[in-house]
Structure 1
Amino acid sequence: MKIMLDAGHGYSTAGKRSPDGIREYEFTRMVAAYAKDILETYQNVTVYLAHSDARDVPLQERTDDANRLMVDAYVSIHGNAYGTTWNDANGIETYVYLTKPKEAYELALKIQQHLVVMTGLRDRGVKTADFHVLRETHMTAALSECGFYTNKDEAARMKTEAFQRTCAQAIVQGIADQYHLVKKSVPTPGGQAFFKVQVGAFSERKNADDLVASLKSKGFNSFIYSENSQFKVQAGAFAERKNAKDLAARLKANGFNAYIHLD
């Protein structure tokens, strides 16, 4: 499978930026680099980068390269902004083209779900837009906005390696879920492990669905994945154990069972 990762904008192109001068590409290039490393731990996956640190690559060139290489999926990584001053706009959102192609929408939903659960940021949903990289690509394409540069808390998080790695892992997990990617038998050195907070495991899907609904009613994001003939409910995944412990404690305080495992 061939995947193209696109770090939105470049050092000199407009892009978003925080009121204190952090540029979008400073974040997106790192997320793309970490995502590439993780994707290459899967079997039969080739990863291309649409961007370059040497120069600002025009949008038309990016999509032309993707079409020429006939990649299977194009994932564009961005940061968001609301105006140019600090404000309370916040959260994650993922986009597909206006026609809402079925496979693209499914991929976007998976990426969005993992980003929200793993970062803990607000779920702004999957939306449609007439963005160039969604319109001009001939393959499945999605674009994710991973937090707001104009939100002080989110901008501060976007500067950190931990958050960048978390976003990369979430995006890759969405891709892996969509295309049923299989890990290589020998892990790539330096691969990032995450502390995952699991809330339940059931033999029947309905029980898992009921738990997700109950978690949502208490303000917790979660998702279901299938493993070893069970439907498991996960409420978060973190690079640092302390963050996982904090979430597990909040879950337990609200009457849910929760335990942490390293994966």
Structure 2
Amino acid sequence: MKIMLDAGHGYNTPGKRSPDGLREYEFNRAVANYARDLFRNYENVTVYFAHSDDRDVPLQERTNRANSLNVDAYVSIHANAFGSGGWTSPSGIETYVYPSRPPVAYQLAQKIQRNLVVETGLPDRGIKTADFHVLRETKMDAVLAECGFLTSKNDIKLLRSEEYRKTVAEAIVKAVADQFNLKRSSNPPPPNTSGLYKVQAGAFQEKKNADDLGAKLRSDGYTPYVYQDNGLYKVQVGAFEKKQNANSLVSKLRSDGYETFIYLD
């Protein structure tokens, strides 16, 4: 069984954030990471990511990769939004399939929707159809889950919570396992606990841009370092064993006007 997890958008995608600054991608990628780890508990399952922490991967590239890998299921993870930028009232969970309602994809959407509503306690907004690229251009069964509203003062508290992100991942994995009759491994690998929470302030094609950002950070009293990874020059400001320490640094950086995000490496 090959599964493509798609954390929607990228950490620098314009507009994809809550009124108080939570980037949608931060939530999406965290759920994808937790789901990948949970899938390690099942036999003969390979998980691929459609997204990247380095850039906002174009939709065509995401679906092309899924098709070329011939994956069996494509699950796109998102957080919803309503209105033009401020806090609004809509709240809850909704799951999308392509308008033709492919039978297996629709069944998977039903299971994901049901699990998410039961496990999160958020309102059930139902299963909907949409001509989204990731649903239209994928050759395999594909669904897109909207796991709460960035523009809801109620939902945003949950979307920021690591416990909620784990709950969402568990609900999605449980639905996929049920739909495709995945068998639990009798000897699952241990969870990956060796990573650090790293704070990244930028990623650039040109080294000069990374160096300029590093110099600005140093002038503001931070200790960044610039390194090259996968063809990009990245600016990292800290690495921590505890996420709350990374969160504290991010809060300070954002108060100083820097756009940053946390990733687990």
TM-score (structure 2 length as normaliser): 0.70
CA contact (8 A) 2:40 2:188 kept: no
Structural mapping, 1:167-178, within 5 Å: 167-178=168-179
Q: Judge which range, 12-21 or 85-94, deviates more.
A: 12-21
1:233 is matched with which residue? none
Change (3 A) 1:102 1:77: same
- Paired residue for 1:74? 74
Provide the rounded CA distance (Å) in 1 between the counterparts of 2:107 and 2:171: 15
Decide whether the 8 Å contact of 2:37 with 2:191 is kept in 1: no
1:182 corresponds to: 183
Between the aligned partners of 1:16 and 1:140, the Cα distance in structure 2 is 26
Q: 3-state DSSP class of the match of 2:90?
A: coil
1:64 counterpart SS class: helix
Deviation at 1:15, TM superposition (A): 5.6
What does residue 110 of structure 1 align with?
Answer: 111
Partner amino acid, structure 2, of 1:14: P
1:149 matched residue in structure 2: 150
Shift of 1:17: 1.5
| 1:125 matched residue in structure 2 | 126
In the TM superposition, what is the alpha-carbon distance from 1:162 to its structure 2 partner? Answer: 0.0
Deviations 1:162-215 (A, max 9, x none): 000000000000100100111100233249xxxxxxxxxxxxxxxxxxxxxxxx
2:58 maps to 58
| Conserved? CA contact 1:7–1:76, under 8 Å | yes
Match of residue 23 from structure 1: 23
Tell me if the contact between 2:2 and 2:48 (Cα under 8 Å) persists in the aligned partners.
yes
**Superposition deviation, residue 55 in structure 1:** 1.6
The answer on whether the counterparts of 2:4 and 2:75 sit within 8 Å (CA) in structure 1 is yes
Looking at structure 2, the residues matched to 188 and 29 of structure 1 have their Cα atoms a distance apart, in angstroms, of: 22
- How many residue pairs match? The answer is 191
Q: TM-score, normalised by structure 1?
A: 0.71
RMSD over aligned CA atoms reads 1.1
Preserved CA contact (<8 Å) 1:16 1:80 = no
Deviation at 1:155, TM superposition (A): 0.6
Question: Is the contact between residue 15 and residue 24 of structure 1 (CA under 8 Å) also seen in structure 2?
Answer: no
Matched-pair contact (CA < 8 Å) for 2:97–2:135: yes
Quick one: which amino acid aligns to residue 156 of structure 1? K
For 1:53-83, what per-residue CA distance to the aligned partner results, in whole angstroms no more than 9, with x for missing partners?
1222110000000000000000000000111
For the 8 Å contact 1:3–1:48, the answer to whether it is kept is yes
Equivalent position SS for 1:94? strand
Q: Structure 1, residues 217-250: CA drift from partner, whole Å, max 9, x if none?
A: xxxxxxxxxxxxxxxxxxxxxxxxxxxxxxxxxx
Q: Counterpart of 2:117 in structure 1: which amino acid?
A: V
User: What secondary structure does 1:85 align onto?
Assistant: coil
